[in-house]
Amino acid sequence: MSEAKVAGGAAIRRVPNIRDVARRAGVSHQTVSRVLNDHPNITPRTRAKVMAAMADLDYHPSRVARALANGRSGTIGVVSTDNGRYGPPKTLRAIESAARDAGYFVSTVNMAAVGHTHMESALRHLIDQGIDGVVVIAPQAAMLDSFYELAPGVPFVTVDSAGSGGAHTIAIDQAEGARLAARHLVDLGHRDIVHISGPTDWLDSQARVGGWRSVLAAAGLSTPEPLVGDWSADFGHRMGLELADRRDFTAVFASNDQMALGLLHGFRERGIRVPEDVSVVGFDDIPESAYFCPPLTTVRPDFSELGRRCMARLHDQLTGVELRSDPPIPPVLTIRASTAPPGDGPAATRS
């Protein structure tokens, strides 16, 4: 392999190209190109010679060149929202990882706000880059509505709890996650279970409320109205202080771990022990939840599987595979020290 000189006289290796491979294999560069693009009219012997030459030279084909050869950009677009919540960024990272594994570049647009104008701007930016397909991480119904109204005309996948895209939708089973949390508390013996939900316009929040209600109803328990939060630890802290004055419950299911964190802090300030007096369950299993005081029982979504399925569904569309609807991805319950059977507080005595 040839070397080039840089300032100071240091030598660097020149990256081999397709013509170097052709010379090493004793074939034309057009033949090498056909091998790289899996052309059917290549004999096994020729393919083996070219592959051996590539290995000898440590040649790695340019994804850009291959994309140009097959008429695609090799890039997928992702539209998400810049809301500071754990779930969407984690989903984005899972999709980016799966895309890299599949040989795709990723171009991401984080919308500063939800609305038709913002969605139109995001899609125009991605379409202008010649994306092969797009993934829309849509935590709110308004975001989905805007996307479907604009109909960008490229293969797409939506990540949403509503499942409105049929075979184009990939989702975590948010309702099942809430059922796991509520069923765990019911099985421990709790009968008065409060739910701190996310905002009402969030699809995940709606699904989690529904899952929580279904378990309580099946157990013959009352289902009080959720305390509608904003996903923040600050809101959870305020709820902890307010709920401490009520004490008409023995357990709380918080719709995310940040609100659960604030709740634990509020309870601690008011002298309420977790889990001796009140049990608490969260949702998301953020890395820090194992180090809360006490460590938090929470629901863990499989974001890695979510990313893999998004890329597989896009690839099916790009290669003409007939799409099929898959059930949402089931989460799991991670049981830690924040839950226990009801203690001897006022609500436990009343139950």
Are residues 294 and 198 located together in one domain of the fold? yes
Assigned domain for 70 exists:
no
Domain of 155, CATH number, reads 3.40.50.2300
pLDDT at 62 over 70: no
CA 305 to each of CA 91, 139, 284, 316: distance values in angstroms, whole numbers, following the listed order: 10, 18, 15, 16
Are residues 114 and 259 located together in one domain of the fold? no
pLDDT of residue 253: 98
**Which pLDDT tens digit goes with each residue over 163-183?**
777 899 999 999 999 999 999
Amino acid identity, position 100: R
Q: What is the dihedral of CA 223, 212, 142, 140, to 10 degrees?
A: 140
Are residues 106 and 178 located together in one domain of the fold? no
**304/193 Cα distance (integer angstroms):** 31
Arithmetic mean of pLDDT, 132-141 = 92
13 versus 235: the higher-pLDDT residue is 235
Q: Look at the chain and report how many structural domains it folds into.
A: 3
Are residues 195 and 284 located together in one domain of the fold? yes
**186/342 Cα distance (integer angstroms):** 10
Q: What percent of the chain has pLDDT over 90?
A: 63
**Which pLDDT tens digit goes with each residue over 323-333?**
988 899 999 99
Are residues 206 and 338 located together in one domain of the fold? yes
Longest CA span, the chain:
87
Classify residue 14 by burial, with Cβ atoms within 10 Å: 0-12, 13-18, 19+: exposed
**133/293 Cα distance (integer angstroms):** 44
Are residues 168 and 308 located together in one domain of the fold? yes
Residue 126 structural domain? 75-172+303-330
**315/2 Cα distance (integer angstroms):** 38
Are residues 236 and 145 located together in one domain of the fold? no
pLDDT confidence bin for 151, thresholds 50/70/90: confident
Assigned domain for 249 exists:
yes
pLDDT at 11 over 50: no
Amino acid identity, position 64: V
Please count the other Cβ atoms lying within 10 Å of the Cβ belonging to residue 74. Answer: 20
Assigned domain for 68 exists:
no
Q: Are 160 and 144 in contact (CB under 8 A)?
A: yes
Domain of 19, CATH number, reads 1.10.260.40
Q: Are 22 and 28 in contact (CB under 8 A)?
A: yes
Q: Which of 52-66, 179-193, 273-287 is predicted least confidently? A: 52-66
Are residues 342 and 261 located together in one domain of the fold? yes
Assigned domain for 150 exists:
yes
pLDDT of residue 64: 53
Joined together, the tokens standing for residue 336 give 């830690």
**Which pLDDT tens digit goes with each residue over 257-306?**
999 999 999 999 999 999 999 999 999 999 999 999 999 999 999 999 99
**Mean of the per-residue pLDDT values of the chain:** 88
Which of 24-33, 53-62, 193-202 is predicted most confidently?
Answer: 193-202
**266/260 Cα distance (integer angstroms):** 10
pLDDT confidence bin for 58, thresholds 50/70/90: confident
Q: Give the closest residue to 305 by CA, choosing from 322, 284, 328, 289.
A: 328
| Three-state secondary structure call for residue 271 | coil
DSSP H or E stretch at residue 28:
none
- According to DSSP, the β-strands at 3-5 and 11-13 are antiparallel
Are residues 16 and 148 located together in one domain of the fold? no
- According to DSSP, the β-strands at 156-159 and 297-300 are unpaired
pLDDT of residue 190: 98
pLDDT of residue 114: 86
Assigned domain for 69 exists:
no
Are residues 341 and 202 located together in one domain of the fold? yes
Are residues 262 and 339 located together in one domain of the fold? yes
